[in-house]
Amino acid sequence: MDATGLLGPNCESEEEKLKLTKCTTLLVDYSKKVSILNATDIKLNDTKLTGFITLCKKTMICLEPTCLSEAVKDSIYVSCLSAEIKNTEFFSCVTKISEEKPDLSSYDCLKPEDYASGVIETSVLESKPECLKTVLEGFCGEEAANNFDENVSKLLSVSMLAVEIKARLNGTSTE
């Protein structure tokens, strides 16, 4: 993608350029810190992560009225949601399960294909949310299910948006 793909329509006016310029510092800071999402040593409420979440919110507010392309805005939004999810007991437990790959066969609500690779499949979020909640509580304790519905909703949103963004960037549609 060339640089013009980063901009949406109507970005030629001085007013639009000024809006983008006001966000430059936030965007530079965001680009320096987004790699925290790949860090494996970040714990709950780590100041780097909470700082990134705050930066994300400020960046999104700044970018909303600009002519930056929707694909770019959505990509940043996905990063922000991912950071929020990463800072939950819910995500810590899902990560623990995927790393330890425990035997989940004792959970009657799961079929072997729901965790075939030792990782709970994303489809379980939609098809068996109560089952997943039971697994998280059983494996990590009740705190892993705090704000369960909200966390599942965010995780599904991230997953769907990522597919949409990839399709837009490749010039195809998910519809």
Q: What is the pLDDT of residues 105-162, one digit of tens each?
A: 888 888 888 777 767 777 788 888 999 999 999 999 999 999 999 999 998 888 888 7
Instruction: Give the per-residue pLDDT at 5.
Output: 62
C-alpha Rg value of the chain to the nearest Å? 19
Count the Cβ atoms, other than its own, within 10 Å of residue 110: 19
The mean per-residue pLDDT over the stretch 154-173 comes to 76
Six-digit token string for 103: 């035997």
**Distance between CA 135 and CA 138 in Å, rounded?**
5
In the chain, where the domains are located: 12-87, 88-168
Q: How far is CA 9 from CA 14, 49, 66, in A?
A: 14, 33, 10
Instruction: Give the per-residue pLDDT at 174.
Output: 53
pTM: 0.81
- Exposure of 168 by Cβ count < 10 A (0-12 exposed, 13-18 middle, 19+ buried)? middle
Instruction: Give the per-residue pLDDT at 42.
Output: 87
CA 117 to chain centroid: 22
What percentage of the chain carries pLDDT values higher than 70? 92
